[in-house]
Chains A and B, each alone.
Chain A
Amino acid sequence: MSAHTRVGDVLADARAQGRAALVAYLPVGFPTVEDSVAACRALVEGGADIVEVGVPYSDPLMDGPVIQHAVEVALERGARPRDAFLAVRAVADAGAVPLVMTYWNLVDRYGVERFAADLADAGGAGLITPDLIPDEADEWFAAADKHDLDKVFLVAPSSTDERLLSTVRACRGFVYAASTMGVTGTRGTVGNAAEALVARTKAVTDLPVCVGLGVSNRAQAAEVAAFADGVIVGSAFVKVLADAPDRESGLDALRALAADLAAGVREGRTA
């Protein structure tokens, strides 16, 4: 549980600097595989500490309209699960820590052990599994341990104390606090459910706790950084990419948003 991992190191460094880490999400394959790899690199250039590379899935039932649309486009254009490893490699080469976030059937079909091996080969640090709870994860535990990968599971405001405990015990790297009940997407307010959930989670673990679902701007990033170890931003990046008139302006806008959010996660502790 206190194993020394790259994700853990990044979050510990951020903590030592008196700030939260910026954790950025983008799905591979949107708008194309090549452009998404460049986009992941741009996130790092803008200041993301950790990048979650999403794998497009036909039935993304945890995602709101922005990410749904992006993964539909990615699948229509032929994105494959293995393309995620290209983005992982790019993130690692750019100097940030890459994780993969994926619905479970894609890993199941790929082969859990083979997926873990290929992820580790590409320089990936671990997996975030939004529809896999620790109760169903024995095969993943074995593969993660063998390949020294982090296991990031989600906790939610509805999680009982008992489940919080069993979930954080299964995590390595950090704990993903899904701050609001609901699917991914930007929100006007982050809500105080997040702070309460982080407090409950921190009461049962020394692992870093990162907060996701809903953050889209610098002020919200700062607000969350005041109580969380990492601020996870997804839909806002996808939206920037989707709204961009062309590739270069999309990458510029991503860098700018990442930089703005990176400033936000550095303001929270003094705000």
Chain B
Amino acid sequence: MSAPTDLPVQALTAHRGPYFGRFGGRFVPEALVAALDELDREFTAAMADPAFTAELDHLHRTYSGRPSILTEAKRFAAHAGGARVLLKREDLNHTGSHKINNVLGQALLTKRMGKKRVIAETGAGQHGVATATAAALLDLDCVVYMGEEDTRRQALNVARMKLLGAEVIPVTAGSRTLKDAINEAMRDWVTNVADTHYLLGTVAGPHPFPTMVRDFHRIIGVEARQQVLDLVGRLPDVVVACVGGGSNAIGIFHAFLDDAGVALLGLEAGGDGVDTGRHASSITGGLPGVLHGNRTFVLQDEDGQTVESHSISAGLDYPGVGPEHSWLHEIGRATYEPVTDAEAMEAFRLLCRTEGIIPAIESAHALAGALRAGQRLGPDGVVLVNLSGRGDKDVDTAARWFGLVPDAEQAPEATEAGDR
């Protein structure tokens, strides 16, 4: 878990795509290239424009509630080898997760580009809800693509998006889940690119999305790094985050990339276990390939067909991962390990019981990783965890998992997120 010391570490934070090592790029129809070029130009110009960054900063402070606080989880830490466990509380943001950071940035960028319509993909609904929120705030038309399976499983989030004025389109193609929602959003974008921005929700997709989404989330790590220094007087030994597409993880990792003494640990969704084939651990269990516009680790069969992912956490249930993570894995700067559904749910329950915080099941994967990391480090260790989202949306799944609902036939194997 310790970072290699012989790397040109100063260069790591400077990587801005299109490539991260051999990963990334733009594997897209030519019809989208002009829009990607425009987006790249506008994004670069906006981030150099004090008026744009001031407006985004204002929204962070007065709308989403930044800076998010740091909570020391002392009772939880007793189960983590006695190491200090510090929670970066992205769960306290407006809409309940880190997703709002990226959404506000891209929605402002949409206005700046003079476009009036945003489209988004969503799995569990968190990114869709965040996008619908920003669209309402900034008066943009909003269409959210969501796999038909997911609209059924996440009916409350569908209602939420509709309350916020968004149109939700169920996707009936393919496996009817997140990857198919992305395909459908890309089809919409290629058709309507003149007036529409595709507000992609993670650090995947073609350049500049991995870099842009990362930059809108890197505030997580920038804040947390200073907060840890203020509280502990030194940098953490390890920074821990869950990884689906990888946006919350890259958001908290990025500010630490050049801190060679700080280990970075990403936890992938292990589902029933990587050896069962039912998982969403793209780096641990996948192969390099091309999916959704970038070269990265992909869950695929021997022919290159995308394999369906499985996880109790809809937000991690994706067969690819952001290209920067693939690169950080390949150069050894970050370590990626799977956490099974069962381990994640144990960590979920532990945080509820010891700290009075119900985490998102996504974030519970990071908490399971924090337990591992703390046990490796012992009492002198300092573990920073990105608590990327809150668990309100997951109460139903958790209640079924732990048998808290009267319907006794809802065994864990039959939970909605478990039967993909």
Contact = CB atoms under 8 A, between A and B. Distances in A.
Nearest to B37: A160
B26 interface: yes
B25 to A, nearest CB: 5
B191 A108 contact: no
B302 interface: yes
B304 A109 contact: yes
Given A57-B305, A59-B306, A178 B300 contact: no
A154 B304 contact: no
Given A108-B290, A109-B300, A60 B33 contact: no
Contacts of A131: 27-29, 290, 293
Interface in B298-322: 298, 300, 302-306
Nearest to B305: A58
A72 B175 CA distance: 10
A81 B303 contact: yes
Most-contacted residue by chain B among A58, A130, A131, A155 (CB, 10 A): A58
Contact of B290 (A65, A80, A105): A105
Contacts of B28: 131, 133
Interface in A121-145: 130-133, 135-136
A153 interface: yes
Interface in A146-185: 153-160, 163, 167, 178, 181-183
Contact of B302 (A109, A130, A136, A155): A109
A81 B186 CA distance: 24
The bracket for how many chain B residues form the interface is 35 or more
Nearest to B298: A105
A162 to B, nearest CB: 10
Given A62-B190, A105-B290, A131-B29, A81 B183 contact: no
A158 B35 contact: yes
A183 B174 contact: no
Contact of A156 (B26, B30, B186): B30
A184 to B, nearest CB: 10
A211 to B, nearest CB: 14
A108 B30 contact: no
Interface string A53-82: 000011111101100100010010000110
B292 interface: yes
A133 B305 contact: no
Nearest to A158: B34
A193 B413 CA distance: 53
Contacts of B165: none
A178 B31 contact: yes
Contact of A72 (B174, B191, B289): B174
A65 B180 CA distance: 13
Given A59-B183, A61-B187, A80-B303, A153 B25 contact: no
Given A57-B305, A80-B303, A81-B303, A130 B183 contact: no
A86 interface: no
A148 B186 CA distance: 33
Contacts of A105: 289-291, 298, 300, 304, 306
Nearest to A107: B304
B163 interface: no
A159 B34 contact: yes
Contact of B304 (A61, A68, A108): A108
25 contacts: A59-B174, A60-B183, A61-B187, A68-B173, A68-B174, A105-B289, A107-B304, A108-B304, A109-B300, A110-B303, A133-B27, A136-B25, A155-B30, A156-B29, A156-B30, A156-B33, A158-B30, A158-B32, A159-B31, A159-B34, A160-B34, A160-B37, A167-B30, A178-B29, A183-B190
